[in-house]
Structure 1
Amino acid sequence: MTKREVHASVKDERLVQKRREQMIKGAVALFKQKGFHRTTTREIAKAAGFSIGTLYEYIRTKEDVLYLVCDQIYDHVRERLDQALDHKKGTLESLKVGIANFYHVMDEMQEEVLIMYQEVKSLSKDALPYVLKKEIEMVAMFENLLNDCVENGELSITEKQVKIIAHDIFVQGQMWAFRRWALRKLFTLEEYIDLQTQVLFSGLGQLHGKS
């Protein structure tokens, strides 16, 4: 899917990236405290450390910020999974690395993930499909990792099994973000990753054996 363009009048790409990162950080803190609708663009500008006039050089609407949060999460996940693809592509080890990297992203970006799902209902009807499509694209990254393993003979599972397993991996990663307040009382992040991966690979082994 074509990346949605968020208008900026500033042409310096590095400056745009820097300002938008400041904006996202400030907005996430405000959205968490007050919610999307009660937060004003002026408050976002202040939290980001610049004027309202400067803010509108980098976005057009408050809704653009949610797009930017979503894109930032997607870009981080894609970057981490690309690292996994470079690590013994098409092997179970590559799949393990991809899962671990994804869970680490969910931990590092917990606040952004929570805000995205809490406030997605605030998006307009024409904007919502874009954000939901981004999530499907992230799930598809795991489908690709699994399909690489199938093509390489590491796994023997059906196309439908690939799809449901990819969603399972994605939801388990989200669960750490949504339930970290409870889970980290029981497990470290690494323990959580190890346990979830053990359960997944146990199931994959049974599926592989039946094929």
Structure 2
Amino acid sequence: MKKQEVPASVKDEQLVKKRRNQMIKGAINLFKDKGFHRTTTREIAKASGFSIGTLYEYIRKKEDVLYLVCDSIYDEVRNRLEKEIDHANGTLDNLKLAIRYYFTVCHDMQDEVLVMYQEAKSLSKDALPYVLKKELEMVAMFENVLQACVDNGELALDKQDVHILAHNIFVQGQMWAFRRWALQREYTLEQYIELQTNLLTKECSV
């Protein structure tokens, strides 16, 4: 699945990157508060700090902004995970560290995760498969960590169990963002991480 190209009339790549980053930051807050469909391109331009005419020098339509937002969020999460997660260390402690780091990233990017959870469904039929493929690549990171633990004799899981547990880890991290209105009344981030890690690992530890 190839990366979707969003044409720009401006030829300066550095300027395109700068303006689109401004656009992404402004759009995230608007999409969080109003949703994608109720947000106008004029509002996105204003939140980005430039005119609507300037906005259309960097995108073709509002759906392009949503795609850029989703693509940027997944790239940032993936890049942060790739830096910190040790795929080859097949120990339970390493798995717990990976879960902790991912949950912390979800905490740091609560607004972005919420926008992804709520608005990805509004992506075009061409853009959605590409963005969802990125999510599956991140789930695969946890599959690799889990499989390393299985291979090392730390966890008792078959291939199907590994696949489902990796998805569970991914969703439980996101849950801290989209259920925060309830969870943060009862738990600190540290408490949430500890509780979820225990639940995710206790049934499959050797």
TM range (shorter): 0.7 to 0.9
**Residue correspondence of structure 1 range 44-193 to structure 2 within 5 A:** 44-86=44-86, 89-193=89-193
Over the matched positions of the two proteins, sequence identity in percent amounts to: 69
| Cα distance in 2 for residues equivalent to 1:123 and 1:171 | 20
Contact 2:86 2:145 in 1 (8 A): no
Q: Structure 1, residues 159-204: CA drift from partner, whole Å, max 9, x if none?
A: 1010010011011111111111111111111111111112222122
| Cα distance in 1 for residues equivalent to 2:200 and 2:61 | 42
Contact 1:27 1:65 in 2 (8 A): yes
Contact 2:147 2:162 in 1 (8 A): yes
Instruction: Provide closer, same or farther for how the CA distance between residues 34 and 103 of structure 1 changes in structure 2, counting only shifts above 3 A.
Output: same
Q: What is the deviation of 1:12?
A: 4.7
Instruction: Provide closer, same or farther for how the CA distance between residues 182 and 65 of structure 1 changes in structure 2, counting only shifts above 3 A.
Output: same
- The DSSP-based 3-state class of the residue aligned with 1:64 is helix
- The DSSP-based 3-state class of the residue aligned with 1:185 is helix
Q: TM-score, normalised by structure 2?
A: 0.87
Instruction: Provide closer, same or farther for how the CA distance between residues 139 and 39 of structure 1 changes in structure 2, counting only shifts above 3 A.
Output: same
In the alignment, does 2:15 pair up with 1:8? Answer: no
In structure 2, the partner of 1:31 is 31
* Runs of at least 5 residues in structure 2 that lack an aligned partner in the other structure: none
Contact 2:4 2:127 in 1 (8 A): no
Q: TM-score, normalised by structure 1?
A: 0.85
Instruction: Provide closer, same or farther for how the CA distance between residues 41 and 99 of structure 1 changes in structure 2, counting only shifts above 3 A.
Output: same
Contact 1:88 1:94 in 2 (8 A): no
Instruction: Provide closer, same or farther for how the CA distance between residues 85 and 48 of structure 1 changes in structure 2, counting only shifts above 3 A.
Output: same
Name the count of aligned residue pairs.
206
Contact 2:149 2:155 in 1 (8 A): yes
Q: What is the deviation of 1:11?
A: 4.8
Name the stretch that deviates more: 146-155 or 71-80.
146-155
- The DSSP-based 3-state class of the residue aligned with 1:7 is coil
Q: Structure 1, residues 86-141: CA drift from partner, whole Å, max 9, x if none?
A: 48733323322221121122222222222223223322333332333332222222
Contact 2:30 2:44 in 1 (8 A): yes
Instruction: Provide closer, same or farther for how the CA distance between residues 204 and 80 of structure 1 changes in structure 2, counting only shifts above 3 A.
Output: farther
Q: What is the deviation of 1:158?
A: 0.9
Q: CA RMSD in A?
A: 2.3
Q: What is the deviation of 1:42?
A: 2.1
* Runs of at least 5 residues in structure 1 that lack an aligned partner in the other structure: none
Contact 2:2 2:130 in 1 (8 A): no
| Cα distance in 2 for residues equivalent to 1:83 and 1:168 | 22
- The DSSP-based 3-state class of the residue aligned with 2:18 is helix
| Cα distance in 1 for residues equivalent to 2:11 and 2:149 | 42
| Cα distance in 1 for residues equivalent to 2:155 and 2:10 | 49
Q: Name the aligned partner's letter for residue 74 of structure 1.
A: Y
Name the stretch that deviates more: 10-19 or 92-101.
10-19
- The DSSP-based 3-state class of the residue aligned with 1:184 is helix
